[in-house]
Homo-oligomer: A and B are copies of this chain.
Amino acid sequence: MNLEEVAKRAKVSTATVSRVLNNIDVVKNSTRSRVIKAVEELKYHPNLHARTLAGGKSKTLGMIVSNMENPFFFDVFKALEADAIAHGYEVVIANTDYSAEHLVDSVRLMIGRRVAGLAAIVSEMNPRLIDELADSKIPVVFYDVGTARRNISNIRVNYQRGIEKVVDYLHDLGHRRMAFVSHHAALGPINVRERSFVETVSRHAPGAEWKTAVDADGPEGGRQAVREILSSGFRPTAIICVNDFMALGVLRELREQGLRVPRDVSVTGFDNITLSEFCYPALTTVHIPRERIGHIAYETLLPEDGKSPFASRDIQIDPDFVLRESTGPARKA
């Protein structure tokens, strides 16, 4: 079922059918309706591959994320997609599950698909792979990885500042034994958060003891991390989590172990995902404007007409501290 069959049935050329389908308004009304009739009768659906191949331009955006299960990524996606759809684009997403291998495959796939733009919201990326993207000429926007270049823009959040706000706040409440729970990604912003934690503690909370634990991203990972910390004998009065998603599991495990939050232990998250407000107790966290990030990503990849087609940008975002119920004064020993 292709253009030709439709053309035959409507007794016109494929060129005319194509024009009708693309709303090019030079076609006579009577012809147009004949074509439309044929299209419907044959239940014809244009072949997207042929279309983008012939047209030379793709109407799809790509998005690569580390862990779609974590609502953080989904929220960014949702905003990006809304903008895309509003402008007649679609967005295909790829989930790497923090695997470098999957990431390579996903990037190659996106290039192969000749996407009109690519948003990579991943915590790390091999420099060689970044080069590959740079050479592809595809407009790219990274979230917190790599550096801006000709065809690559960058959105970054000041994690350092976010963690400082958290540590400062806890230190003021008297906390002197803290734990940091994070996940596997060895490089990139995650490590930035961990490093920030260590540095900030030694600078803003001198003399405090601390410990870090690492497990998979997600509630289950958070739970495991807490088990690891507690079974080591360390008894923190505050647990700082690399993100809210893991914090959910931390809360759960503390409850299981009979520790009250925040009376016995304070817990903080990061990101301010919707769930952080629905868990118990509601999480004190740091707000990352995910929706804004999604919109910026879109606007960066596909600027409104009038502006230059694609300009490499470097955008900084300063996160805000969000106080809820999972934190309180440190318990006296």
Question: Which residues in A have some Cβ–Cβ distance to B below 8 Å?
Answer: 43, 45-53, 58, 68-69, 71, 74, 78, 81, 90, 92-95, 108-109, 111-114, 132, 135-136, 218-220, 223, 248-249, 251-252, 255, 274-275, 277-280
Contact = CB atoms under 8 A, between A and B. Distances in A.
A54 B286 CA distance: 50
Given A92-B92, A251-B280, 14 more contacts: A47-B53, A48-B109, A48-B112, A48-B114, A49-B49, A49-B53, A49-B113, A49-B114, A81-B95, A90-B109, A220-B274, A248-B278, A278-B279, A279-B279
A49 B48 CA distance: 8
Could you tell me the dominant secondary structure of chain A's interface residues?
helix
Contacts of A93: 93
A293 to B, nearest CB: 17
17 contacts: A45-B108, A45-B111, A45-B112, A45-B136, A46-B112, A47-B112, A48-B49, A48-B113, A50-B53, A53-B53, A81-B95, A90-B109, A92-B92, A248-B278, A255-B280, A278-B279, A280-B280
A20 B286 CA distance: 51
Contacts of A58: 49
Nearest to A111: B45
Contacts of A249: 278
A277 B223 CA distance: 12
Contacts of A45: 108, 111-112, 136
A274 B109 contact: no
Contacts of A109: 48, 90
Contacts of A49: 48-50, 52-53, 58, 113-114
A282 to B, nearest CB: 8
A132 B135 CA distance: 41
Contact of A275 (B46, B81, B132, B219): B219
A280 B47 CA distance: 50
Nearest to A53: B49
A49 B218 CA distance: 36
Contacts of A51: 112
A135 B280 contact: no
Contacts of A277: 252
Nearest to A253: B278
Contacts of A112: 45-48, 51
A112 B46 CA distance: 6
A19 to B, nearest CB: 18
A90 B92 CA distance: 11
B278 A280 contact: no
